[in-house]
Amino acid sequence: MKRVVELFAPVMLIAVLLGAWEFACRALAVPSYFLAPPSAIGASLVADSPGLLKAAWYTVSNALLALMIASLLAQALALTVTLSPILERAVQPLTVVLQVTPVIAIAPLVNIWAGTDHPGRAIVALATIVAFFPIYSGAVTGLRAVDPDLMRLFDLYGATRLQRLTRLRAPSAVPFVLEGHKVAAGLAIVGAVVAEFVAGSGKVQGLAWRILDAGYRLQTARMFAALFVLGAMGAVLYALLQAAERTGLRWWRGR
Partner 1 sequence: MSQGANIAALEDVGVDYPRGPALGPFSLGIGAGEIVALVGPSGCGKSTALRLLAGLEAPTRGKVVRAAGRGETAVVFQTPTLAPWLSARGNAALPLELAGRPRAAATERADAALARVGLAGAEAARPAQLSGGMAMRVSLARALVTEPKLLLLDEPFAALDEITRRGLADDVLRLWADIRPAIVFVTHNVEEAVYMASRVVVMSRGPGRTAGEIAVEGPLPRPPGFRTSELFRATVETVSHALAGGMAA
Nearer to partner 1, 175 or 234 (CB): 175
Nearest distance from C-beta of residue 172 to partner 1, angstroms: 8
8-state DSSP, 165: I
Nearer to partner 1, 43 or 146 (CB): 146
Nearer to partner 1, 102 or 148 (CB): 148
Nearer to partner 1, 148 or 202 (CB): 148
Nearest distance from C-beta of residue 141 to partner 1, angstroms: 17
Q: How far apart are CA 199 and CA 55, in angstroms?
A: 15
Do residues 62 and 192 touch, judged by C-beta distance below 8 A? yes
**What is the end-to-end Cα distance of the chain in Å, rounded?**
30
Nearest distance from C-beta of residue 118 to partner 1, angstroms: 42
Nearest distance from C-beta of residue 250 to partner 1, angstroms: 10
Residues whose CB falls within 8 Å of the CB of residue 73, separated by 6 or more in sequence, listed in order:
128, 132
- The 3-state DSSP class for residue 30 equals coil
Nearer to partner 1, 27 or 162 (CB): 162
- Whole-Å CA distances, 141 to 8, 76, 132, 238: 39, 14, 14, 22
Nearest distance from C-beta of residue 150 to partner 1, angstroms: 6
Nearest distance from C-beta of residue 248 to partner 1, angstroms: 11
- The 3-state DSSP class for residue 18 equals helix
Residues whose CB falls within 8 Å of the CB of residue 104, separated by 6 or more in sequence, listed in order:
194, 197, 198
Nearest distance from C-beta of residue 143 to partner 1, angstroms: 14
Q: How far apart are CA 131 and CA 98, in angstroms?
A: 12
Residues that bind partner 1 (CB under 8 A): 147, 149-150, 152-159, 163, 167-168, 171, 174, 252-255
Dihedral over alpha carbons 156, 159, 160, 163 (to 10 degrees): -150
Nearer to partner 1, 101 or 166 (CB): 166
- Measure the CA angle with vertex 246, ends 245 and 249; round to 5°: 85
CB atoms within 10 A of CB 254: 5
Nearer to partner 1, 171 or 231 (CB): 171
